[in-house]
Amino acid sequence: MVAPTDHGQPPRRRAVVVGAGICGLAVAGLLDRAGWRVRLLERAEGPRGAGYMIDFFGPGFGTAERIGLLPGLRRRSAPYDAVRYVDSRGRTTATLRMEALLGAAGGRYLGILRPDIEAALREWLPPGVEVVQGARVVGAEPGRLPARAGDAGVPAAAVLTDGTRIEAELLVGADGIHSAVRRAVFGPEDGFLLRLGFHAAGFVFSDPPIAARLGRDVALTDSLRRQVGLYGLPGGRVAAFAVEATGEPAAPRDPRAALRERYRGLGWMVPEVMGHVPDDVYYDVVAQALVPRWHHGRTVLAGDAAHAVSLLAGQGASLALAGAEVLAERLGAHGQDLGAGLAAYERDWRPVVGRHQAAGRRSAAFFVPPGPLSRWARRHAVRALRGGPLSRLVAHAAFATGGWRSGAPRCPPTWPAAGARATDRA
């Protein structure tokens, strides 16, 4: 499949990565550094601005350090002092001071907008990666690995809307929970998605008075079956997040109208906030991806396409980044044996994300209480975390490696600097 060059050295193997989110950008950059020739396909016409605030810690934090991404993340982070629950009149019902928890993190924690993580990754991305915006993938061919000596196998291919086939020795489906690559190679998404009974939305808007009222706190409505979270950003901007318990299996046709209708009864500042919902609001069903096998032929799934943990479980961004590192490292460790590298990635990484998925399924009711009793329990749980031994115990559990010790990547202390590839090193 890959013919030698005039100098007797095989050319760089080709990789096509579908999806320029957190995982796709990281995979593309790390494969480039490892010597692959990478093309990154993204359906959006440009970088996405819609998104929500996340707590970034756990396994991805170590990855960010090792690959040189952490400085870019720190520049974009937005720290906060406390989490406050408020009722429909704006009265505080429970408060969790972050200082009680963050001491255990040892500085290994960032509050950051998800789009800002992608922006940092684009800044970090090696210049050799070819990024193609507006490339909508509608099909994929898994390819075939060599079956015997002298057999070159068959390349994988991504198929675009105009029929263009982009072939490669490796195809990575990092195109999110509604992955087109997964659908084409592994089957319809209904066979892999576990819907958790929630819808979620996120957006950023400009309103200096609201930002000033929030200060440096995250404010969450202490409401039943639906919740709005708000956080002030620099420049008078506000990040908003909304989640609702619902049995509806699909997102509404008009998410903007649905948000205004369903959340206006929460009181406080929520009606004002819902007046800022943009046309391109992020809105999706909260679900997990449970895929029995992540690789087939020369094709592999990564990030949410393989193992979405859900918005309510947390650490999705952290796991996407760390999983990208594990994939790149395992492929590098097995050299030309692509099949062995893909098998090692799945063997080592699946148990880690499996634990996070299980935790996410157990904890959903804590974030959106279904009734008064569970809301009362949450209030008292938050109050119990104000300080003392219990808060320290919870903090250490949260900010430990997050299941990272099992399946940790056997990576060098640092990856090559951006722009340097494996072939450039001695």
Contact 166, 158 (CB under 8 A): yes
Domain assignment present for 212: no
Higher pLDDT, 73 or 405: 73
pTM: 0.86
Residues paired with 240 in a beta bridge:
203, 230
pLDDT at 8 over 90: no
Domain assignment present for 71: yes
Domain assignment present for 228: no
pLDDT at 48 over 90: no
Structure tokens at 418: 């951006």
Mean pLDDT of 20-29: 97
Residue 93 is part of a domain; what is its CATH number?
3.50.50.60
Task: Dump pLDDT digits (tens) for 121-151.
Answer: 999 999 999 999 999 999 999 999 998 888 8
Q: How far apart are CA 214 and CA 221, in angstroms?
A: 13
Contact 155, 143 (CB under 8 A): yes
Domain assignment present for 354: yes
What pLDDT, on a 0 to 100 scale, did the predictor assign at position 50? 64
The SS3 of residue 191 is helix
What pLDDT, on a 0 to 100 scale, did the predictor assign at position 374? 79
Q: How would you label 351-384 residue by residue, b for 16+ Cβ within 10 Å and e otherwise?
A: ebbeebbeebeeebeebbbeeeeebeebeeebee
Mean pLDDT of 216-233: 92
Q: How far apart are CA 253 and CA 208, in angstroms?
A: 31
Q: What single-letter DSSP state applies at residue 13?
A: P
* Domain region containing 396: 14-194+287-403
pLDDT at 239 over 50: yes
What pLDDT, on a 0 to 100 scale, did the predictor assign at position 365? 66
Domain assignment present for 208: no
What pLDDT, on a 0 to 100 scale, did the predictor assign at position 76? 93
What pLDDT, on a 0 to 100 scale, did the predictor assign at position 136? 96
Mean pLDDT of 292-297: 97
**Which band of pLDDT confidence, cut at 50, 70 and 90, is reported for residue 390?**
very low
Query: What are the Cα distances from residue 314, in Å, to 23, 160, 241, 317, 419?
Result: 15, 32, 14, 8, 32
- Triad 401, 404, 409: Cα angle to 5°: 130
Mean pLDDT of 239-253: 91
Domain assignment present for 271: no
Structure tokens at 228: 């709005």
Query: Is the alpha carbon torsion for 15, 302, 323, 46 positive or negative?
Result: positive
Mean pLDDT of 317-341: 96
- Of 185-194, 248-257, 387-396, the least confident: 387-396
Q: What is the pLDDT of the chain when averaged over all its residues?
A: 85
Domain assignment present for 248: no
Domain assignment present for 246: no
Element (H, E) at 18: strand 14-18
Show the beta-strand stretches assigned E in 25-143. Answer: 37-42, 53-56, 82-86, 92-97, 110-113, 130-133, 137-141
- Triad 74, 70, 102: Cα angle to 5°: 60
What pLDDT, on a 0 to 100 scale, did the predictor assign at position 351? 95
Residues paired with 133 in a beta bridge:
42
Tally of structural domains, the chain: 1
pLDDT at 166 over 90: yes
Of the candidates 5, 7, 10, which has an alpha carbon nearest to the alpha carbon of residue 335? 10
- Of 45-49, 123-127, 259-263, the least confident: 45-49
Of the candidates 346, 358, 341, 328, which has an alpha carbon nearest to the alpha carbon of residue 292? 346
Of the candidates 148, 153, 186, which has an alpha carbon nearest to the alpha carbon of residue 167? 153
